[in-house]
């Protein structure tokens, strides 16, 4: 049994709220601070990509008994719908019955805060944490950065305050703190496909829709109300870029030409385009994640990644799963808990950062490529026949809870094998033969 | 002719002081701020590696007429003295007459501030800059971070405030600012070899002394007063580490065993070891370096590197050379000056960071390796005969002003060639033959 501690969680986002539930269930007093107003009382929209909940996320939710409550607001997507300029292809994500789940970030966040409050966590909104005294687990809170601050002392502080974490900001100023932030030369903008008049979806509801166009792409994920949240990813500068689309007509012409089947389903295209902000995409890495037995970072605060694998929230929730394992294993020895937590998670956070970065290429370019689709078909056939010998990379990341670092390493190995297989003569015709199966078996056993 | 501006330089270190001289000569009003006391009035010691001035440094000093004044406090080192456990080897750095120059950081900094004052720059010591308003080039100065601040408005601000720059700190909080800091798992500690009673040096004065021992090493650079400044580089943790040497006897035994010829020349070994701090080694990269025509970072503030190529100061001084070229080329168009400056310098800063990181291995391990010394001999012979075809990497970095990025690329190419040459049968005996020369010529022409 753990000694009950007074714990602050900074950040009431998805990871902060779920962590609060875990800490309450472990018997602690939990105060959650957020600089923003209560998301349940405001209109939240305009700059989010819908979440894609997968195995790691569900595992963390179910272990604390809130999975079913979240399933109520989730829509399964079992396949990619790939919108080429002249045709529509479908590609299953996994085996029969395997899906990722579209959830609105705002809806999920509201629900998570409700659940955390029910569990007994106390929320403090519009409380701006500007600094933390690491050795004392003391928060410094005030209206403005240069104004008066109040001190709040805790036994322990978790920084779940996202990619631009204030808690990490203080840790960064220690010696020996490794840190990097790297922005993509690409941004994203939210657009909207409204529901039909009867509340049904204008596109297939159980698909993750992609319009792959190489350097840029459009995606759409379903919402419960029949609408889709769309996201346009595009370079900031250059030929096809946010900078190059300067008026309504240019935006409409661009979509007409490049996403012809999207035009009739995005009625407010030009309005949304100029009203909604263009957001940035950053990969942030750091180490260490903890300070003695006083401070720990979690989620985006210690490993912000680009969204192309749909694993940001899932990775943050998995942090909590691992932290909880360490809590159960090491009892009141928080130094050990924090140390084992960060050692276990860091290589996996780095791996999913790399996989996410690479996956833009897969989504925007390879899904439009015949050779890539052939590779996926070969992998599927082989994997169905030898499930013990071949779990495709996407499935290992999305439908398993094997470590991300293992997925990255095995994925690279599998890719080398498939490159060799695709070089076989006449592979387009022989792909579903024993010859190919034996070739893969041979390469696997090397 | 440039319009005279009111310019602040934050940081009165080597780069800040030299930049102040350049800006004064260009007709501007220059105020230099430093949070520390005037280095000319305090005792500066205990945590520095002597500087190794080479071509790029001299070029920047000479172009503004202060090179000869600095030569008065510089000692040429034309070779490495490699102290193996049982013998001493020498290895020339370059051609006859080519040397790097040992200079005490404190001495040089004092002289640079004198020279900048003579040129008309105004210095403000013990003035702590806590923040900068980027768009207004306004400094915020005060006693403490949380106390009262005064504002000082300028036309332009240079951040020459080192690896932990406050000016950069503000720029980091902008969107799209790429940043990384990475610490080595190794630290360094200053030790001292005093002069003989008659003021002469205890070791060869015109050598850069190295005791290469693989994971750790000792170096010593000469001072004018007959002493040497020594630096011990060693991992923080592990078998041979700072952590593992916990008392005087352990330190003395360690040196006796591993640096036997150093024992009699470092009389205060154990005292220095426990008195002097163990310093960290960081590589810091960022981009952009400038903000409109208002703010520019320079030197360590935008590219801190590890010291193993002796190029930190030289790279910072070369920033000034390039900035000055842009000033002469683009007149009053400071947006253009800043933009071209950062575009020109960034790839070279990245290259010297990489070369510096790699050079620890060369210094600590390869200089003790027969194969490496053979490679150097072969390169020397070939380079003497074909100076137009082969400038060794070290010479390109140290004795030329060709871009660092070019040095890195060509160095990698040369290394591939030498690897092949070293694989030739019986190379130990045929290294100085026409066969080897022809082999290199053949590989170069591929």
Q: Are residues A174 and A321 in the same domain?
A: yes
Whether the CB-CB separation of B301 and B285 falls below 8 Å is answered with: no
Q: Please give, rounded to a whole number of angstroms, the shortest distance from the CA of A285 to a CA of chain B.
A: 9
For the cut 70, the answer to whether the pLDDT of residue B47 exceeds it is no
Q: Is residue A94 part of a domain?
A: no
Q: Is residue A325 part of a domain?
A: yes
Which residues in chain B have Cβ-Cβ distances shorter than 8 Å to A183? 175-178
Q: Are residues B391 and B432 in the same domain?
A: yes
* The pLDDT of residue A45: 62
Q: Please give, rounded to a whole number of angstroms, the shortest distance from the CA of A128 to a CA of chain B.
A: 16
Q: Is residue B92 part of a domain?
A: no
What is the average pLDDT across B284-302? 98
Q: Is residue B65 part of a domain?
A: yes
Task: Tell me, yes or no, if A180 comes closer than 8 A to chain B by beta carbon.
Answer: yes
pLDDT tens-digit map of A22-42: 999 999 999 999 999 999 998
Q: Which of B280, B295, B321 is the last residue of a domain?
A: B280
Q: Are residues B315 and B176 in the same domain?
A: yes
User: Residue A128 burial by CB count (10 A; 0-12/13-18/19+): exposed, middle or buried?
Assistant: middle
Which of A79, A37, A36, A60 shows the shortest CA–CA distance to A313? Answer: A60
Interface contact B179-A180, CB threshold 8 A: yes
Give dist(CA A6, CA A31) in Å, integer.
8
Three-state secondary-structure class, residue B408: helix
Q: Are residues B272 and B290 in the same domain?
A: no
Measure Cα distances from B39 to B71, B102, B106, B274 in Å.
20, 20, 7, 24
Task: Tell me, yes or no, if A183 comes closer than 8 A to chain B by beta carbon.
Answer: yes
Give dist(CA B401, CA B199) in Å, integer.
36
- Give me the domain span that covers residue B393: 369-444
The mean pLDDT of chain B is 95
- What's the full length of chain B, in residues? 446
* The pLDDT of residue A1: 63
Measure Cα distances from A83 to A259, A265, A365 in Å.
8, 13, 12
Interface contact B176-A182, CB threshold 8 A: no
Task: Tell me, yes or no, if B180 comes closer than 8 A to chain A by beta carbon.
Answer: yes
Q: Are residues A276 and A195 in the same domain?
A: yes
Q: Residue A182: which of B172, B175, B178 has the nearest Cβ? A: B178
Cis peptide, bond prior to residue B393, ω within 30 of zero: no
Interface TM-score (ipTM) > 0.85: no
User: Residue A38 burial by CB count (10 A; 0-12/13-18/19+): exposed, middle or buried?
Assistant: middle
Q: Are residues B381 and B349 in the same domain?
A: no
In chain A, residues 107-166 whose CB comes closer than 8 Å to chain B: none
What is the average pLDDT across B79-95? 93
Q: Please give, rounded to a whole number of angstroms, the shortest distance from the CA of A182 to a CA of chain B.
A: 5
In order, the DSSP letters of A67-79 are: HHHHHTT-EEE-E
* The pLDDT of residue B245: 97
**A75: CB partners within 8 A, 6+ apart:** A101, A102, A103, A205, A206, A222, A223, A224
What is the average pLDDT across A323-332? 97
Say which residue, B173 or B230, is predicted with more confidence: B230
Please report, rounded to a whole number, the percentage of residues in chain B having pLDDT higher than 90. Answer: 93
Which of B357, B356, B395, B361 shows the shortest CA–CA distance to B376? Answer: B395
B33: domain CATH number? Answer: 3.50.50.60
The mean pLDDT of chain A is 95
Three-state secondary-structure class, residue B416: helix
Q: Are residues A235 and A346 in the same domain?
A: no
Q: Is residue B18 part of a domain?
A: yes
Interface contact B181-A177, CB threshold 8 A: yes
Which residue's entry shows tokens 């949070």?
A: B35
* The pLDDT of residue A216: 95
What is the average pLDDT across B53-66? 98
In order, the DSSP letters of A34-67 are: -SSPPGGGS---SS-PPEEE-HHHHHHHHHTT-H
Q: Please give, rounded to a whole number of angstroms, the shortest distance from the CA of B183 to a CA of chain A.
A: 5
A·B CB contacts under 8 A: 30
Pairing of strands A6-10, A29-33: parallel
Q: Which of A216, A245, A280 is the last residue of a domain?
A: A280
Total domains in the fold of chain A: 3
What is the average pLDDT across B425-437? 95
Task: Tell me, yes or no, if A181 comes closer than 8 A to chain B by beta carbon.
Answer: yes
Give dist(CA B41, CA B236) in Å, integer.
33
Radius of gyration over every alpha carbon of chain A, rounded to an integer in angstroms: 23
Task: Quote the strand ranges of B320-442, DSSP E.
Answer: none
Q: Which of B218, B252, B280 is the last residue of a domain?
A: B280
Task: Quote the strand ranges of A224-264, DSSP E.
Answer: 228-235
Three-state secondary-structure class, residue A403: coil
For the cut 90, the answer to whether the pLDDT of residue A46 exceeds it is no
Q: Are residues B172 and B203 in the same domain?
A: no
Question: Per-residue confidence at A225, pLDDT binned at 50, 70, 90?
Answer: very high
pLDDT tens-digit map of A380-424: 999 999 999 999 999 999 999 999 999 999 999 999 999 999 999
Give dist(CA A255, CA A248) in Å, integer.
11
Interface contact A180-B175, CB threshold 8 A: no
For the cut 80, the answer to whether the pLDDT of residue B185 exceeds it is yes
Q: Are residues A407 and A324 in the same domain?
A: no
Question: Per-residue confidence at B1, pLDDT binned at 50, 70, 90?
Answer: low
For the cut 60, the answer to whether the pLDDT of residue B46 exceeds it is no
* The pLDDT of residue B173: 87
Q: Are residues B325 and B201 in the same domain?
A: no
pLDDT tens-digit map of B378-406: 999 999 999 999 999 999 999 999 999 99
Which residues in chain A have Cβ-Cβ distances shorter than 8 Å to B177? 181, 183
Phi, psi of B94 (to 5 degrees): -150, -145
Q: Is residue A436 part of a domain?
A: yes
Whether the CB-CB separation of A48 and A189 falls below 8 Å is answered with: no
Which residue's entry shows tokens 């260009």?
A: B26
Which of A320, A326, A280 shows the shortest CA–CA distance to A299? Answer: A320
Q: Are residues A61 and A170 in the same domain?
A: yes
* The pLDDT of residue A44: 67
Q: Is residue B67 part of a domain?
A: yes
Question: Per-residue confidence at A179, pLDDT binned at 50, 70, 90?
Answer: very high
What is the average pLDDT across A239-256? 96
B207: domain CATH number? Answer: 3.30.9.30
Which of A292, A305, A377 shows the shortest CA–CA distance to A342? Answer: A292
Give dist(CA A376, CA A89) in Å, integer.
13
For the cut 60, the answer to whether the pLDDT of residue B74 exceeds it is yes
Q: Residue A183: which of B176, B182, B183 has the nearest Cβ? A: B176
Sign of CA dihedral B378, B381, B383, B389: negative
Q: Are residues B307 and B350 in the same domain?
A: yes
Q: Is residue B136 part of a domain?
A: yes
């Amino acid at each position: 049994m753990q000694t009950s501690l007074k714990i602050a969680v900074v950040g009431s986002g998805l990871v902060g709220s779920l962590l609060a539930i875990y800490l309450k269930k472990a018997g602690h007093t939990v105060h959650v601070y957020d600089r923003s107003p209560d998301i349940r009382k405001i209109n939240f929209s305009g700059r989010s990509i819908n979440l894609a909940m997968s195995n790691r996320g569900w595992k963390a939710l179910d272990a604390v008994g809130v999975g079913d409550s979240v399933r109520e607001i989730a829509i399964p997507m079992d396949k990619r719908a790939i919108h080429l300029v002249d045709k529509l292809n479908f590609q299953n994500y996994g085996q029969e019955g395997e899906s990722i789940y579209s959830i609105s970030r705002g809806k999920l966040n509201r629900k998570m805060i409700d659940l955390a409050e029910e569990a007994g966590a106390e929320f403090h909104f519009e409380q701006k944490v500007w600094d933390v005294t690491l050795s004392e687990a003391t928060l410094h809170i005030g209206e403005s950065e240069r104004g008066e601050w109040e001190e709040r002392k805790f036994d322990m502080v978790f920084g779940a305050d996202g990619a631009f974490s204030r808690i990490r900001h203080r840790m960064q100023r220690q010696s020996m703190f490794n840190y990097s932030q790297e922005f993509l030369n690409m941004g994203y903008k939210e657009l909207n496909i409204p529901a039909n008049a009867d509340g049904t979806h204008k596109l297939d509801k159980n698909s993750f829709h992609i319009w792959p166009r190489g350097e840029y792409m459009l995606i759409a994920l379903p919402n419960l109300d029949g609408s889709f949240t769309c996201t346009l990813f595009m370079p900031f500068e250059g030929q096809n870029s946010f900078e190059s689309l300067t008026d309504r007509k240019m935006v409409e012409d661009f979509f007409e030409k490049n996403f012809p089947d999207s035009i009739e389903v995005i009625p407010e295209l030009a309005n949304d385009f100029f009203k909604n902000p263009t957001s940035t995409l950053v990969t942030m890495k750091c180490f260490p994640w903890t300070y003695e037995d006083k401070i720990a970072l979690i989620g985006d605060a210690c490993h912000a990644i680009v969204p192309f694998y749909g694993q940001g929230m899932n990775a943050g929730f998995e942090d909590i799963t691992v932290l909880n394992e360490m809590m159960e294993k090491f009892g009141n020895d928080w130094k050990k808990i924090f140390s084992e937590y960060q050692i276990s998670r860091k290589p996996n956070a780095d791996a999913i950062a790399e996989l996410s970065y690479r996956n833009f290429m897969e989504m925007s370019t390879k899904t439009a490529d015949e050779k890539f689709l052939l590779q996926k078909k070969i992998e599927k056939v082989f994997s169905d026949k030898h499930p013990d010998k071949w779990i495709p990379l996407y499935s290992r990341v999305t439908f398993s809870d094997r470590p991300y670092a293992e997925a990255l390493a095995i994925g690279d190995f599998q890719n080398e094998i498939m490159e060799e297989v695709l070089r076989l003569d006449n592979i387009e015709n022989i792909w579903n033969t024993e010859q190919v199966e034996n070739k893969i078996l041979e390469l696997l056993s090397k």
